[in-house]
Amino acid sequence: MKILVFDTKQEVSEFIANKVIDQVQKKPDTVLGLATGSTPKEAYRYIKNDYKQNNRDYSKVITFNLDEYLGVLKDSINSYRQYMKEALFEGINIPNSQQYFPLKTNMKNYDNLIKEHGGVDLQLLGIGLNGHIAFNEPGSSFQSKTRIIELDESTRKRNSKYFRSIDHVPTQAISMGISTIMKAKEIILAATSEVKADIIKQLVDSNINENLPASILKTHENFTLVLDQEAARDIN
């Protein structure tokens, strides 16, 4: 595991954006694994600005999102498809047909679909306060594939800020599995702000165990943890 610590969240965002931009320059038909949530939002904004300013081409890029809520309509402001549309997709030129989300209709085939496209070249991840990656909550098997997951109450509570109330937060989602994520050729996990300091310390200090899903990433041969000072506060 490589750990990079930047002074600010903005520098973390620029680092992630530049990784994506460089990857697509190097390999125009790159397969990206994409995350939602508050952490990558600034990076996506930076990618959109760079696209406008520098005439980039994303027409051959293929994307696989990590997860999607169950029971939220595709066009709802709370769907991750809608998040991606607003955060990134409407600002760059990846064709709709090359943007994949795990859904009830394709979830049994999602891992195969990724494989058929040559596997994920660069996977972006966030981390939950309970150590989840995608929606693989603590206790998820390291062998898990894309499937339906019951969301932890702590996850529902944290994500309730995007909904009218916690009662409106779905109880289930479809998520790439941990074995699915681990097949990516390169993985970057970003964590910013002091709310993440505790889980990042646990991640750095812990042994590899299924109660801390992100801990498995430490066995990946091309894994980078990217932090701002606040998230890195408690690590040595």
Catalytic center residues: 67, 130, 132, 137
Number of residues that bind ligand PGA (CB under 6 A): 6
Stretch in the footprint of ligand PGA (CB under 6 A) among 42-50, 123-131, 136-144, 208-216: 123-131
Shortest CB 160 distance to ligand PGA, Å: 12
User: Please, which residue, 107 or 173, has the CB nearer to ligand PGA?
Assistant: 173
What distance in Å separates the CA atoms of residue 5 and residue 11, rounded to the nearest whole number?
A: 9
Bridge partners for 5 per DSSP:
227
Dihedral sign for Cα atoms in the order 194, 197, 198, 199 = positive
Q: Choose, by CB under 6 A, the member of 20, 31, 51, 126 that binds ligand PGA.
A: 126
Is residue 131 close enough to count as binding ligand PGA by CB under 6 A? no
Candidate residues 10, 18, 23, 38; the one interacting with ligand PGA per rule CB under 6 A: 38
Q: What span, in angstroms and rounded, lies between the C-alpha atoms of 158 and 175?
A: 17
CA distance 120 to 113: 11
According to the 3-state scheme, what is the secondary structure of 42-94?
Answer: HHHHHHHHHHHHHCCCCCCCEEEECEEECCCCCCCCCCHHHHHHHHCHHHCCC
With contacts defined by CB under 6 A, name the span among 12-20, 35-43, 77-85, 217-225 that binds ligand PGA: 35-43
CA gyration radius for the chain?
17
Looking at the Cβ atoms of 30 and 192, the one nearer to ligand PGA is 192
216 contacts ligand PGA (rule: CB under 6 A): no
- List residues binding ligand PGA (CB under 6 A): 37-39, 126-128
